[in-house]
Amino acid sequence: MFDVRLSLTQKPPFMLDTKTEELFTHERYADFNMMLGFGDGDIKHIDMRTGQILHTTSDPYVDGIGSIVYNANSNAFVTSGYTDFSVWNIDDATGEARVWSHSHPSATAAVDSGGDYTTNAVFAEDDLILVTSSAGTIETFRQEFDIV
């Protein structure tokens, strides 16, 4: 069982000295499959019927995953949270996810300045991602998908 009511508002303190798994978010992406997003950047794909972990990966750009949003039309999802966001594609054949693109234009500057910086990314359209930040910015990011 997981409690997903906790929201990510800053870099989780446990990330500073340990790699303890703490669930921040989840997203259902198929009839029986769910993605779990953890505070250490890990993403686990599980089968809800059995609880079995199907795939595990780590987001190389988002240090603490506060949100996962899936879009069935593009078979993609975005992760967002501490410092950045990433756009992912799910391989139909294997069910594994891979990073397609990433980055909020202001993320690097905010991280370099030493401030806490979080983003939230959602699909505004099938190929348009709306990104907001704790620094008060709102931007759009167009992603070209090979939608069949």
The answer to whether 134 and 113 are in contact (CB under 8 A) is: no
Superfamily the domain 13-142 falls into? YVTN repeat-like/Quinoprotein amine dehydrogenase (2.130.10.10)
Q: Residue 109: phi, psi to the nearest 5? A: -65, -40
The single residue listed with the structure tokens 């800053």 is: 10
Q: Which of 27, 28, 47 is nearest to 37 (CA)?
A: 27
The one-letter amino acid code at 84 reads D
Looking at the DSSP assignment, which residues form a beta bridge with residue 56?
44
- List pLDDT tens digits, range 3-32: 444 554 444 443 333 445 687 888 988 888
Residue 16's contacts (CB-CB under 8 Å, 6 or more residues apart) are: none
- List pLDDT tens digits, range 46-105: 888 888 888 888 998 888 888 999 998 888 899 998 878 899 888 777 777 788 877 655
pTM, to two decimals = 0.74
